[in-house]
Each structure stands twice: as C-alpha cells, then as structure tokens.
C-alpha cells in the first residue's frame, strides 16, 4: 500500500437530497504517492484541484471512497500533513516570525523557547526572508507571502507537504525564481510532496511524476506520467530537451483531448491509462498505471 493513497474518491457540492442542484466536482479519483516522492498534478482552473487537496489535508471529507496515510484512513486535518494554501492564509495580525512560530509552537511542544526560535529562524532563512522576519504580511509582496506560507508548512516538518498552486499568483519572472528555490528546498528536505499547479512546465520541472486532472464537472485524474529527467534540472537547457518536449506534449494532449470531454461515463479506473497510452508518443518516458 502506498504512503498516501486515494481510492475511488468522489466529491460534490450542493444539497445532497436534491441531485438536480448538486454539482459533482471530482469523480473516481485514484492516487498513489510513495514516501519521498514528488508528485505534480496539473489541471484546469475550477477543475477541483483545491477540493482534492482539501480532502487530502482532511479539511473536507470525500462523499465516497477512502484516503489513507500510512495505511490509516484520514478523518480530519493534522500537522503531519503540511498545507500551503492557494491564498497563503497568513494571519495578518502576526509578523512573519509569529506566523511561523504559531505552527512551530504547536508541533514541537517539547522544544525550549530558544530552540523554537532558532527553528523558526532557520526556516525563514531557508526561503530567503530573514530580512523581513519582523514584517507583517500586509508589508510583503505576493511572492514573499507565498514564501512565508511555504516556510510555515516546512517548519512543521510534516510527513507530506501539500502545495496548492503555491506560485500561482505570481508573475512569470518571480515564479521562475521561486520554482528554482522550491526545487532546491525539496531536494534538500527530501520530503514527500504533492504539488498542485496550473502550469505544465512547472509540474515537469519539479515533479518526479506528473498527473493531469481533466476538466470539470466530474473531473478525473488522467494517466500518471513519470518525469525521467535528471536532477538538478536546468530550466534553460530543459526547453530544448526532447524528453521534456515529449512529456509536455503528452500532458497537454491529455488536457486538451480526453481530459476536456465534459460528459464522462462512469468507468473502471484502469481504462483511461490504456487509451492514452495508445495515443501518446511513447518516447523517453514511461506510463505507470
């Protein structure tokens, strides 16, 4: 059994007793994440990416299906699953230090005050924000806020990191810088990470595997595509590499092709993998069901 696993997960919103007004957001989600693995999920806006991560975090429960961590079903949120929320979710009345401290205080109850301080300072330094450690979120730029949010999640030293479009609100240049920073931090920490993104290149640049999420309503996950590029990955060189191009081609092909079909029949979970295998150029990378 995989470290983090979702089996047949469905989720909808709206009144349960009136199916006409109820929208099914996610259908039949199957997901496996091994310890130490970096998985990227790419999908359309509004497809249900945040909904998926909320369920993995335990903030909402699935309508059907099960999610397990370490073999134990997830019943609620917990600090062993660190979340970087899409909209940072920093507490505006606390400084950068205090925001991170709130998490550290809660997770490392046994540490002394001095140890906790050092711990917070270490993680703030990791995201290159030592100079702004006493600032309030309102005084920070969008990118800096996202880094604080990342520092807070990392400082909890969780077993899994759930990142919901952590770089989504940024301009292309800042985004590229933070991607490199994220890649560095992830390699150093060796954590199990699930990254949600709307940028295919970002997913390939950072992930060990990439899975496209189709268009909603009733979105399902596409085939899992292993990213066989060696690390550390250089974004400039990558653009010319054939493997990178073919990976990107396959993800985009799924998203524009099968993943965009709006009306889906319920079906067995093994099928979409097989069908995309047939259509995908099988060059330089493998498909794992």
Ligand X SMILES: Nc1ncnc2c1ncn2[C@@H]1O[C@H](COP(=O)(O)OP(=O)(O)OP(=O)(O)O)[C@@H](O)[C@H]1O
Binding site for other proteins (CB under 8 A): 57, 59, 76-79, 81-83, 85, 87, 89, 91-93, 102-103, 106-107, 136, 138, 156
Cβ pair 203, 42 in contact under 8 A: yes
- Tell the smallest beta-carbon distance from residue 4 to other proteins (Å): 16
**Shortest Cβ 22–other proteins spacing (Å):** 20
Tell me the number of residues near ligand X by CB under 6 A.
13
Does position 13 bind ligand X by CB under 6 A? yes
**Using CB distances below 5 to 8 A depending on partner kind, what does residue 48 bind out of other proteins, Mg ion, ligand X, none?**
ligand X
Nearest-approach distance from CB 187 to other proteins, in angstroms: 25
The DSSP string of 86-150 is TT----TTS-HHHHHHHHHHHH-TTS-HHHHHHHHHHHHHHTT-GGGTT--GGGS-HHHHHHHHH
What is the closest distance, in whole angstroms, from the C-beta atom of residue 172 to other proteins in the complex?
Answer: 26
| The only residue of 50, 99, 197, 276 in contact with ligand X, by rule CB under 6 A | 50
**Which are the contacts of 230, defined by CB distance < 8 A and separation ≥ 6?**
none
DSSP 20: G
- Give, in order, the Cα–Cα distances in Å from 251 to each of 43, 61, 274: 10, 28, 15
Query: What's the CA gap between 105 and 111, in Å, rounded?
Result: 8
Handedness of CA 31, 36, 37, 41 (dihedral sign): positive
Choose from ligand X, Mg ion, other proteins, none: what does 266 bind? Cβ within 5-8 Å by kind: none
DSSP class of 212: E
Q: How far is the CB of 160 from other proteins (least distance, A)?
A: 12
221 near ligand X, judged by CB under 6 A:
no
CA distance 52 to 60: 9
Using CB under 5 A as the binding rule, whether residue 50 contacts Mg ion is answered as yes
87, interface contact from ligand X, other proteins, Mg ion, none, CB < 5-8 Å by kind: other proteins
Q: Which is nearer to ligand X, 211 or 280 (CB)?
A: 211
Burial call 159-183: b when 16+ CB within 10 Å, e when fewer: bbbbbbbbbbebeeebbbebbbbbb
CA 242 to the chain's CA centroid: 26
Among 48, 158, 214, 223, binds ligand X (CB under 6 A): 48
| Shortest separation between residue 98's beta carbon and other proteins, angstroms | 9
Interface residues toward ligand X, by CB under 6 A: 13, 25, 43, 45-51, 86, 198, 216
Q: Provide the binding-site residues for Mg ion, judged by CB under 5 A.
A: 49-50, 86
């Amino acid at each position: 059994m995989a470290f983090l696993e979702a089996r047949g997960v469905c989720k909808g919103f709206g009144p349960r007793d009136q199916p006409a007004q109820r929208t099914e957001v996610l259908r039949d989600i199957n997901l496996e994440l091994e310890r130490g693995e970096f998985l990227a999920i790419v999908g359309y806006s509004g497809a249900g990416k945040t909904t998926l991560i909320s369920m993995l975090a335990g903030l909402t429960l699935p309508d059907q299906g099960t999610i397990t961590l370490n073999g134990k079903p997830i019943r609620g949120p917990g600090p062993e699953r660190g979340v970087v929320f899409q909209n940072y979710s920093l507490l505006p009345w606390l400084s950068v230090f205090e925001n991170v401290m709130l998490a550290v205080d809660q997770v490392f109850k046994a540490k002394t005050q001095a140890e906790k301080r050092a711990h917070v300072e270490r993680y703030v330094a990791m995201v290159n924000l030592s100079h702004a450690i006493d600032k309030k979120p309102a005084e920070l730029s969008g990118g800096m806020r996202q880094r604080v949010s990342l520092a807070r999640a990392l400082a909890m030293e969780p077993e899994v990191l759930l990142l919901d479009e952590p770089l989504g609100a940024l301009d292309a240049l800042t985004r590229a810088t933070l991607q490199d920073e994220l890649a560095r931090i992830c390699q150093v920490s060796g954590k199990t990470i699930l990254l949600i993104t709307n940028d295919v290149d970002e997913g390939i640049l950072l992930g060990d595997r990439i899975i496209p999420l189709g268009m909603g309503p009733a979105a399902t996950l596409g085939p899992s595509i292993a990213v066989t590029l060696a690390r550390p990955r250089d974004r400039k060189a990558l653009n010319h590499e054939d493997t990178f191009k073919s990976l990107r081609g396959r993800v985009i092909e799924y998203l524009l092709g099968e993943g965009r079909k709006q009306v889906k029949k319920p079906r067995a979970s093994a099928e979409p993998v097989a069908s995309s295998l047939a259509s995908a150029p099988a060059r330089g990378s493998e498909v794992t069901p």
